[in-house]
């Protein structure tokens, strides 16, 4: 068991704290250099076909693929029977139902298997013109080249004085970390732009309130072994890394991510958690989180999932991740092949704003869905980011179109320096009321508060019950109209003279009562 993990290197070696540079990505013991080899096609430049996203394929590769297709088609046409109209339709239906397999001998999947949107191409042309397609589409390259300091931020953004001062003085606070891909979604000149607000620190982070806590959900107090939170009777939260592809300024676990602190994720910690799960038969559901588990190498993910799936009473395994939104290049066919081995397997994906739902993200979520993985979204409600009905409705609609089911809207947790993100609870209720009835029910998530101190998730709903008129319940619909619903109030059972409830006021005395004894049936 230990041997399997010993060769399963983390996707990014080293730590993110203290301004240390991220080391080269590793898979097993083999180190990958930052310089890639392969196609010399340069990134950048707008798409010429007018589509929102195009696959990367060099002209030579396209020509070769066309020749192969032409030769294949010619060979088939010599022996293919002539079809009438109905036979053609039946054949087309059969072909449509067959799994589609792309055969491209000699082609590099990092060049051919990833959609690149027009917005990304324009960003690359401006800031990463020297980067080849196979580098940009390599998730390890994205992690190694994250924007993590003032100089790299100023290269892609026009910083305000406040932003510049905060980045320069972060100290041991949550570090900056932004993948080049995700940086392409930020507005380079507007500090109030939604995604930028969630990634670039501002002075409000230094304002802390007595109600704000490092561990507002008291996760550390519910850990029977390090890194495993057992709060609910039948499920556990398994923290497996402190590394994230990007560092969100509102992160509930800002005490943990981006720095080593007291958390050291290694084989011994994993094994202690797995042993506890195996010994606790009431646990049927394991949520793997961190940090972000999908930043780990394929073989480490495979190792963890295989050990959990081997436990007979574990019925349900989930991963919580923001990677599909911020690093869609990570969702490779190889990763999906690993994940689908461990069904029933679900994924909670973290989305914040409709701007995140790009052609790249649609492809990544499509790959996961095609692997049979149900996807549910989690969204933190934040002031100036997504705290209005039109923005939230658009986000939910875009998610549904990429086969992601809106699951939770969270009230922002009271971590230190988060007051500029938190909205009144009434704002969350207003958004739910603006969704319910105004759009499909599939686009209406639950609005929840994760109760401080370890109280768990508490669902909140607008009040659609107006009151009662006798046996009628008065209800209000999404349009503000009221309706009467029959809901008879059961008459209370009348007590008998011996103190026992009787279904009728004139119930006859039992024989035992006539003899001075009382008995309640």
Q: Give the position of tokens 């009151």.
A: 467
Q: Token pair for residue 376?
A: 């549910």
Does the annotation mark 100 as catalytic?
no
Does the annotation mark 244 as catalytic?
yes
Q: Whole-angstrom Cα distance, residue 117 to residue 331?
A: 16
From 122, 106, 1, 128, select the one nearest 57 (Cα to Cα).
106
Catalytic residue among 457, 497, 509, 517: 457
Asked if 55 and 61 count as a contact pair (C-beta separation under 8 A), the reply is no
SS3 393: helix
Which H helix or E strand runs over 411? Answer: strand 405-411
Does the annotation mark 235 as catalytic?
yes
Q: Whole-angstrom Cα distance, residue 356 to residue 343?
A: 28
Does the annotation mark 413 as catalytic?
yes
CA angle 196, 405, 409 (to 5 degrees): 50
From 145, 149, 150, select the one nearest 128 (Cα to Cα).
145
Catalytic residue among 64, 383, 450, 464: 450
Does the annotation mark 248 as catalytic?
yes
- Quick one: 252 exposed, middle or buried, by C-beta within 10 A (0-12, 13-18, 19+)? buried
Residue 170, C-beta contacts closer than 8 angstroms, at least 6 positions apart: 176, 201
Asked if 482 and 466 count as a contact pair (C-beta separation under 8 A), the reply is yes
Q: Whole-angstrom Cα distance, residue 236 to residue 284?
A: 9
Catalytic residue among 119, 140, 249, 253: 253
- Quick one: 147 exposed, middle or buried, by C-beta within 10 A (0-12, 13-18, 19+)? buried
Does the annotation mark 450 as catalytic?
yes
Catalytic residue among 134, 197, 235, 259: 235
Q: Whole-angstrom Cα distance, residue 160 to residue 84?
A: 68
SS3 435: helix
Catalytic residue among 128, 134, 196, 244: 244
Catalytic residue among 231, 405, 427, 476: 231
Catalytic residue among 121, 134, 196, 251: 251
Catalytic residue among 148, 197, 247, 248: 248
Catalytic residue among 42, 55, 232, 342: 232
Asked if 410 and 448 count as a contact pair (C-beta separation under 8 A), the reply is yes
Which H helix or E strand runs over 125? Answer: helix 118-127
Q: Whole-angstrom Cα distance, residue 462 to residue 480?
A: 12
Active site residues: 231-232, 235, 244, 248, 251, 253, 413, 450, 457
């Amino acid at each position: 068991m230990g041997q399997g993990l010993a060769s399963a290197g983390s996707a990014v070696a080293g730590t993110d704290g203290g301004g240390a540079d991220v080391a080269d990505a590793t898979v097993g013991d083999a180190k990958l250099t930052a310089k890639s080899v392969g196609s010399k096609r340069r990134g950048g430049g707008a798409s010429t076909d007018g589509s929102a996203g195009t696959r990367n394929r060099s002209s030579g590769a396209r020509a070769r693929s066309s020749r192969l297709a032409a030769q294949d088609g010619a060979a088939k046409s010599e022996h293919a029977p002539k079809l009438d109209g109905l036979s053609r339709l039946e054949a087309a239906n059969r072909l449509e139902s067959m799994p589609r397999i792309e055969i491209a001998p000699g082609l590099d999947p990092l060049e051919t298997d990833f959609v690149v949107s027009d917005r990304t191409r324009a960003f690359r042309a401006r800031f990463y013109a020297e980067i080849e397609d196979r580098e940009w589409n390599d998730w390890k390259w994205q992690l190694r080249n994250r924007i993590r300091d003032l100089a790299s931020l100023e290269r892609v953004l026009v910083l305000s004085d406040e932003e510049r001062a905060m980045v320069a003085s972060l100290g041991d606070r949550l570090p900056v970390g932004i993948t080049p891909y995700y940086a392409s979604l930020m507005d380079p000149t507007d500090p109030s732009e939604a995604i930028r607000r969630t990634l670039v620190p501002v002075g409000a982070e230094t304002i802390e309130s007595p109600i704000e806590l490092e561990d507002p959900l008291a996760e550390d107090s519910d850990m029977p072994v390090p890194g495993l939170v057992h709060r609910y009777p039948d499920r556990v939260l398994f923290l497996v890394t402190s590394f994230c592809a990007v560092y969100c300024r509102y992160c509930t676990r800002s005490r943990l991510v981006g720095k080593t602190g007291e958390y050291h994720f290694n084989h011994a910690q994993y094994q202690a958690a797995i042993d506890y799960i195996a010994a606790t038969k009431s646990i049927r559901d394991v949520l793997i989180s961190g940090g972000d588990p999908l930043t780990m190498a394929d073989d480490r993910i495979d190792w963890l999932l295989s050990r959990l799936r081997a436990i007979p009473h574990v019925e349900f395994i989930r991963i919580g991740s923001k990677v599909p939104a911020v690093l869609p290049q990570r969702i490779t066919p190889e990763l999906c092949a690993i994940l689908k081995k461990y069904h029933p397997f679900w994924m909670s994906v973290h989305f914040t704003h409709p701007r995140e739902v790009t052609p790249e993200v649609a492809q990544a979520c499509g790959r996961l869905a095609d692997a049979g993985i149900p996807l549910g979204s989690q969204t933190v409600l934040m002031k100036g980011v997504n705290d209005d009905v039109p923005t939230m409705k658009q986000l939910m609609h875009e998610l549904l179109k990429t086969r992601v089911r809106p699951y939770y809207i969270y009230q922002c947790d009271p971590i230190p320096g988060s007051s500029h993100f938190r909205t009144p609870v009434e704002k969350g209720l207003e958004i739910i009321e603006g969704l319910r009835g105004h759009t499909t029910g599939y686009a209406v998530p639950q609005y929840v508060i994760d109760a401080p101190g370890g109280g768990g998730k508490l669902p909140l709903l607008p009040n659609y019950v107006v009151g009662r008129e006798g046996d009628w319940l008065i209800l209000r619909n999404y349009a503000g109209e009221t309706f009467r619903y029959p809901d008879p109030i059961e008459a209370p059972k009348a007590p008998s003279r011996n103190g026992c409830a009787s279904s009728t006021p004139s119930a006859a005395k039992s024989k035992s009562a006539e003899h001075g004894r009382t008995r309640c049936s």
